[in-house]
Structure 1
Amino acid sequence: MCGLLTYISADASAPAHRAAIAEANERLHHRGPDETGVELIDNDVVIAHKRLSIIDVESSHQPLWYADGRYVMTYNGEIYNYKELRAELIERFGATFATDGDSEVILAGYHYWGAEVATRLRGMFAFVIWDRQERRGYGARDPFGIKPMFHLHTHEGVYFSSEKKALMPFTDPKDLDEKNLAHYLTLQYPPEPGTMHRAVQRIAAGHYVQFTAGSPVTATKYFEPTFHPRPVDDPQRLYDEILATLRESVRMHMRADVPVGAFLSSGIDSTGVVALAREFNPDILSFTMGFDVPGHYNELDVALESAEHLGVKAIGTKIGAEEMMSALPQIVWYLDDPVADPALVPLYFVAKKAAEYVTVVLGGEGADEFFAGYPIYREPLSLQSIQGLPRSVRSGLRAVSRVIPEGVKGKSFLERGTTDLETRFVGNANIYAEEEKQRILRRYDPSVVYTDITAPIYAECEGLDDTTRMQYVDMKTWLRGDILVKADRMSMAHSLEVRVPFLDVEVFKVASKVPLDEKVRLRGNHTKYALRQALNKVVPPAIVNRPKMGFPTPTRVWLAAEMFEWADHILATAGCGHLIDLEYVRGLLRDHREGKADNSRKVWTILVFCLWHAIFVEQSLDPGVTRATSQLAAKPAVGSYVN
């Protein structure tokens, strides 16, 4: 895993920018502390790289050259089928290789297959190639958006980077995209391909780009994750196919020349990955964590029991409220853009612990989107009785729901049952409704609504059942904007590579055809039913049917107690009051402490934005120092930061 930064000059003035690129590249040091490379290519391009050595440690230095210096590449990711592609390139074209790594396979593939090389790569990747002969560039991002790539256009040229922070020296940090701020308040992240800064965009997942010096970047979609559910005559055959495909994916994801471990929670996804990984490495280490809070916030005991059952060593860690407050500014800095998922914090700490032992870990991300694991995916089944009524009857029931007092049983059921899917489901997070955004945003624009993001996605999957459409929306929004961002940033914060065997094109081929009745069932409260049946031979019985917990984080408890003064101080002193009514949010916090409502997610969303604004816009908060010297601190720091 690595960090890349590339500049393509519009006017052959690249030499004048080499020093600035080299300096900005240091902002990516955490992504690749093993090696640094900065190359000036003619007068056109500066390519910079930070390497975390995983495969072919002794060679495959980057930027990497190919074909007698015709091509040069900087690359972040892992290609799991590189050995097979290498053999094919040698057999079909007589390709030659100077290294044993996966990087050179991409370059050789581009030389012989051209732009379509992206369609042949099985893995997670973001890369930029410059062809000196044609003075043409090519880049690509993996099918599901596991690895990030940002780009920035200026009058001087175009920049590409693994993280937005490396591009900020070349643009105005105060030029915010307030449309994405509005979307952030609903979704808890700015949706792809935009960012919180107007000038910086993301290369969309499953796209490749082509460009020449001084010309616009053109993007082409090469992968579309399409669901084709169909009935099955023999369910066991489906379960066997799922297990066999996932086992092969895990095997390929374990290809590395450094130690590989795995994250382990109390759920079936990570437990299944660990169980399969153990077949290829019985000594694999697993890592888990919990909180110093009793009850369902602590997955540690269950995960440790699963590890014992599987016969693998588990290394656990716990954190408290003080560690969470202390680490949050640095976490926000690593994120680049605000992401208000509290599960970022435990992931940050478990990645920190894992990095003490291994360089690569396997994770369970993607299983819920592929196989329908979120509890909300059962909702279309529960609403069938009301959704099937004539529209006039549903309109009447909708009117009845409006006069039922808040908190009365049945009100929510009537509201959701009489609302179309496209309106009621915006993805896994729905923090602030439009009515409350109008109250909280200083410059609310009624023409900017959450359906701007979801409506085109719903149009792409029209004709599928409602549960599958929800999966598709989550794949295009929640998975890309939240799940994969936090997995990449929180692991790379500690120079740790996370690999995700579920997010594999071959696994998706199988998942895409699973029928509705093998995904969710009301009886027994089942989600991802087929996956559970597939894994019941390798996963402890107590885990197979365990309800999904996510990564429960006790922000609800702590914001009403240990974290209240800290949170209130941030809101009272933050410098983004011209964008958000912070006094209103302080009121939400007080109501939360007094037990009038659970406002924890709403308050947390604004807290993260306040810290982000202070770091990246005001530049008044240095995340590299302890909270004791932070302008937004209320208490002495506990613990330390990783630089």
Structure 2
Amino acid sequence: MCGIFGILGPYSPEHARSAFATLAHRGRDNSSIIEEPELFLAHHRLAITDTHARAHQPMRRGNLLLSFNGEIYNHRQLRSVLKNAVWQTESDAEVILAAYATWGIDCVQHFDGMFAFALLDGDKLYLVRDRFGEKSLFYHLTPQGIVFASELKAVKPFLASVRLNEDALHSYLSFLAPTPPHTFYQGIEKLASGEWLCYQRGQLTRQRYYQPLACPASAINDATTALSLIEQQLHDSLRSRLDTQAPVAALLSGGLDSAMLCAIAAEQGKKLPTFTLGYQGYGRDDERTNAKITATELGLEHHEVVIGRDDFAEQLDHVLTALDEPLNDPAALPLYMLMQHIAEQGFKVVLSGEGSDELFLGYRQYFECLDIEQLAQLKHKNWLKNYFHAHFSMHKEWEWYKRVFDNTLLFRTSGEKFTDLQQNRLLRQNIRDNASLRFLAPYRAIFEHSAHQHPAQWYSFIDLQLFVGEHFLTKLDRVSMAHTLEARAPFLNHNLADLVLSVDPLLRIGKGESKALLKQIARRYLSEPIIARKKKGFAYPYLDWLLTTSGLELIESVNAKTGLFNEEALAQCLDMGRKGKIKQHIWGLYVLCHWLKREML
């Protein structure tokens, strides 16, 4: 895992080197720079595959130049296919160059991995992001060229001024993170997952090369076949992600996803050391007891990391600064501290369970929405429609029913937080009902033109694209790489995703039990008490602790200077927060105001 940075066009060497230095945390094993007229390409390396100096980057082969962040898990298999290549290293970076020389930019179709890379072919620059967005890539177009980097902090210095992107603000309030291509900085954009762009002589071309719904619909309608194929693919995904000489650990909660990863790894002969978080004085919120039971059952070396209110207060600014822009995920802070502890123990790689809930329908909200969708079939629903319009409520459940009776889109990601109507009340600007649908429109068009029509397919698809791709994975990358630690997510294997989404949705839903297919497979590896545990989520007393750090006062003071929020509506929100309600809404406002104070006030 690494940090990449580059400029095409005129540049100041001192300015470029200073910006590149802001990414040093992403790779402390080596830093290399290529400086040529109109070209600055640089790379911070965390050496995992071929740690020898011969594999340092940027890597040049003939007319091709590469700076690559991530892992190509099938690089060894590709070497056997690329028979005309002359190999000088054992690195996966060299495989990218050889694959591009053979297949052009279509080489991305051959990669199983997580990656963001910049590849220069003469005057053509390709910027590429992996299929699910595990690695980010940001860019800024200038009158003379383009600047790009793994994190926003390295691109920001090239802006003439810092200005708020209103589209990022609204998509953040709606869906926890800015939707592509938006960032909070006007002038900086990001690639979407499964997308590449080409910059040549001032012209920009973008193309989506992967989307999960390209797989056939309901191609697998036999449960025995589905279970066998999924289990095999899970094994293949784990095997490839454990194929490394670097020391590997695993995150372990009390839930099924991380337990399954550890169980399959153990069956493959790799008993991974595991790490779990606990919270001082808030035992009801942590999963140490359940995680310990799982680790004991699997015979794993287990570690517990306990944090308290003082740790929260001490690290809060560091974490929000590391994220670069607002991200509404309170789990970022404890996960940041857990990653720090894992890195200090000498690990370079850690496994995480992102993607399982979305693939295997692990959220209760999916099943609630499937039930509510049925109301659209009512022949006589005008009375109910009028009733809901006449009895306004700020509760999300009211919004769900209203949408069904209005014949508009019900499910808008599991991360939907501030609805359009809530934003209209809160912000000092008019937000029309359903305004946020513009951020979902490109994804909805893909769904409607696909062979997949069942609502459950839409739930998985949009959550993989936004809830996972822009929310969970952004958090995972920033908090792990802040400590030069590579996080791998075995459930986010495109072969596995294509397979699961090809299963008849009725088999995926089963009898309305979350993760029905995964639980059936799990019975070969885990005891029933572990499988039957109620999903708890990553809960901790963040609002209690935020209230002790003058967090709400920060929101009020920023609003006094910016006038962003309606004072009465904001006061009502904060009053609810003081009573322990709408916790993540309050966290989202705090994170936003922290960024506004840091960047614009």
Q: Is the 8 A contact 1:7 1:46 kept in 2?
A: yes
Once the two structures are superposed, what CA deviation does each residue of 1:419-467 show, in whole Å capped at 9, x if it has no partner? 5461x32211232232332233234454982111123322321251112
Specify the SS of the correspondent of 1:167. helix
Aligned residues: 595
The CA deviation at 1:272 is 0.7
Once the two structures are superposed, what CA deviation does each residue of 1:43-90 show, in whole Å capped at 9, x if it has no partner? 2311011111111112354334343x4222111000000001112112
Specify the SS of the correspondent of 1:478. helix
Distance 2:429 2:435 in 1: 13
The CA deviation at 1:588 is 2.2
Q: 1:47 is matched with which residue: 32, 35, 41?
A: 41
Q: Please report the TM-score for the alignment, with normalisation by the length of structure 1.
A: 0.87
Q: Is the 8 A contact 2:372 2:401 kept in 1?
A: no
The change in CA–CA distance for 1:224 and 1:412 in structure 2 (over 3 A counts) is: closer
Structure-2 residue corresponding to 1:84:
77
Q: 1:566 is matched with which residue: 533, 550, 557?
A: 550
Structure-2 residue corresponding to 1:25:
20
Structure-2 residue corresponding to 1:387:
376
Q: Does 1:257 align with 2:249?
A: no
The CA deviation at 1:613 is 1.9
Once the two structures are superposed, what CA deviation does each residue of 1:122-177 show, in whole Å capped at 9, x if it has no partner? 1001111223xx33222311111111100110113101100011001100442211
Q: Partner letter of residue 7 of structure 2? A: Y
Root-mean-square deviation (CA, aligned residues, Å) is: 2.5
The CA deviation at 1:186 is 1.7
- Structure 2 spans left out of the alignment, 5+ residues: none
Specify the SS of the correspondent of 1:473. helix
Structure-1 residue corresponding to 2:465:
476
Q: Is the 8 A contact 2:271 2:300 kept in 1?
A: yes
Specify the SS of the correspondent of 2:8. strand
Q: Partner letter of residue 140 of structure 1? A: V
Structure-2 residue corresponding to 1:63:
57
Once the two structures are superposed, what CA deviation does each residue of 1:205-239 show, in whole Å capped at 9, x if it has no partner? 11222223x42221222112115442755412211
Structure-2 residue corresponding to 1:266:
254
Structure-2 residue corresponding to 1:74:
67
Q: Is the 8 A contact 1:124 1:147 kept in 2?
A: yes
Aligned 1:284-433 pairs, distance under 5 A: 284-294=272-282, 296-357=284-345, 358-383=347-372, 386-390=375-379, 393-402=380-389, 415=402, 418=405, 420=407, 422=409, 424-433=410-419
Structure-1 residue corresponding to 2:421:
435
The change in CA–CA distance for 1:211 and 1:581 in structure 2 (over 3 A counts) is: closer
Distance 1:323 1:511 in 2: 40
Q: Is the 8 A contact 1:589 1:600 kept in 2?
A: no
Structure-2 residue corresponding to 1:592:
577
Structure-1 residue corresponding to 2:6:
6
Q: Please report the TM-score for the alignment, with normalisation by the length of structure 2.
A: 0.93
Q: Is the 8 A contact 2:20 2:42 kept in 1?
A: yes
Q: 1:547 is matched with which residue: 526, 534, 548?
A: 534
Once the two structures are superposed, what CA deviation does each residue of 1:268-307 show, in whole Å capped at 9, x if it has no partner? 1111111112233444211111223546411111111101
Q: Does 1:617 align with 2:570?
A: no
Structure-2 residue corresponding to 1:221:
208
Structure-1 residue corresponding to 2:494:
505
Q: 1:188 is matched with which residue: 176, 184, 196?
A: 176
Q: Percent identity?
A: 29
Distance 1:458 1:576 in 2: 38
Structure-2 residue corresponding to 1:166:
154
Distance 1:421 1:405 in 2: 17
Once the two structures are superposed, what CA deviation does each residue of 1:372-410 show, in whole Å capped at 9, x if it has no partner? 2121111244236533311xx2221233345669699x9
Q: Is the 8 A contact 2:559 2:565 kept in 1?
A: no
The change in CA–CA distance for 1:82 and 1:565 in structure 2 (over 3 A counts) is: closer
Specify the SS of the correspondent of 1:146. coil
Distance 2:403 2:284 in 1: 28
Aligned 1:518-557 pairs, distance under 5 A: 518-521=507-510, 523=511, 526-557=513-544
Q: Is the 8 A contact 1:360 1:498 kept in 2?
A: yes
The change in CA–CA distance for 1:582 and 1:403 in structure 2 (over 3 A counts) is: closer
Distance 1:207 1:286 in 2: 34
The change in CA–CA distance for 1:606 and 1:466 in structure 2 (over 3 A counts) is: same
Q: Does 1:123 align with 2:116?
A: no
Q: 2:199 is matched with which residue: 186, 205, 211?
A: 211
Once the two structures are superposed, what CA deviation does each residue of 1:615-634 show, in whole Å capped at 9, x if it has no partner? 3334xxxxxxxxxxxxxxxx
- Structure 1 spans left out of the alignment, 5+ residues: 619-643
Q: Is the 8 A contact 2:369 2:411 kept in 1?
A: no
The change in CA–CA distance for 1:232 and 1:218 in structure 2 (over 3 A counts) is: closer
Structure-1 residue corresponding to 2:476:
487
The change in CA–CA distance for 1:128 and 1:231 in structure 2 (over 3 A counts) is: closer
Distance 2:28 2:513 in 1: 44
Q: Is the 8 A contact 1:282 1:312 kept in 2?
A: no
Once the two structures are superposed, what CA deviation does each residue of 1:82-115 show, in whole Å capped at 9, x if it has no partner? 001112112xx2x111111111111111112211
The CA deviation at 1:480 is 1.5
Specify the SS of the correspondent of 1:606. helix
Q: Is the 8 A contact 2:420 2:431 kept in 1?
A: no
Distance 1:207 1:417 in 2: 32
Distance 1:589 1:73 in 2: 49
Once the two structures are superposed, what CA deviation does each residue of 1:486-542 show, in whole Å capped at 9, x if it has no partner? 111111111110001111111112111122222224x5x511211211222113322
Distance 1:453 1:273 in 2: 33
The CA deviation at 1:350 is 1.6
